[in-house]
Amino acid sequence: AQTVTQSQPEMSVQEAETVTLSCTYDTSESDYYLFWYKQPPSRQMILVIRQEAYKQQNATENRFSVNFQKAAKSFSLKISDSQLGDAAMYFCAYRSARNTPLVFGKGTRLSVIA
In the chain, how long is the greatest CA-to-CA distance? 42
Instruction: Identify which of residues 50 and 73 has a Cβ nearer to other proteins in the complex.
Output: 50
Ramachandran angles phi, psi of 85, nearest 5°: -70, -5
Q: According to the binding rule CB under 8 A, does residue 75 interact with other proteins? A: no
Bridge pairing between strands 103-104 and 88-95: antiparallel
Bridge pairing between strands 103-104 and 64-69: unpaired
Provide, rounded to whole angstroms, the least separation between the CB of residue 26 and other proteins: 15
Binding-site member from 56, 72, 99, 114 for other proteins (CB under 8 A): 99
Q: According to the binding rule CB under 8 A, does residue 98 interact with other proteins? A: yes
Distance CA 57, CA 105 (A): 23
Provide, rounded to whole angstroms, the least separation between the CB of residue 99 and other proteins: 5
Residues that bind other proteins (CB under 8 A): 4, 33, 35, 37, 43-45, 47, 50, 52, 91, 93, 95, 98-99, 101-107
